[in-house]
Amino acid sequence: MKKSTVILAMVVAALWAQGAGADSFRCGTHLVSDGDSIDKVAALCGPPTSIQRREVLQRPISWYSGRPYYTSYEPVPIPIEYWIYNLGPNKLMRRLKFEDGLLVEVETLSYGYYSASDD
């Protein structure tokens, strides 16, 4: 009986640890994370190295008591932006994904590079 309790506690701790690691990105002394606006990220981190823009069609969602509810069957265009920060050849680059103006994902890429403007 005690063995199963210990195993259950370990599984719960592992799941909690995974959920606790929200996407975040440190720029200098500032930390941006999921849910931050484009304006806040730009103010804290400065302009990105590159920006890619596109739109995707999604059904509109409203959140009520922590659960998503679709408000329509008709998809609406949602603006998506990918910002890439090149932090130089000694640091890893970051790609930030914004949906409808809010940060939803931070991805770590390969090492950065020297750009022509760094010369």
Q: What is the predicted pLDDT for the residue at 115?
A: 75
Q: What is the predicted pLDDT for the residue at 2?
A: 59
- pLDDT < 70: residue spans in the chain: 1-22, 117-119
Q: What is the predicted pLDDT for the residue at 21?
A: 45
Q: Residue 7 corresponds to which amino acid?
A: I
Measured in residues, the chain has a length of 119
Q: What is the predicted pLDDT for the residue at 15?
A: 43
Q: Within 10 Å of residue 27's Cβ, how many Cβ atoms?
A: 14
pLDDT digits (tens, 9 = 90+) for 35-61: 999 999 999 999 999 999 999 999 888
Q: What is the predicted pLDDT for the residue at 96?
A: 96
Q: What is the predicted pLDDT for the residue at 22?
A: 58
Q: What is the predicted pLDDT for the residue at 12?
A: 46
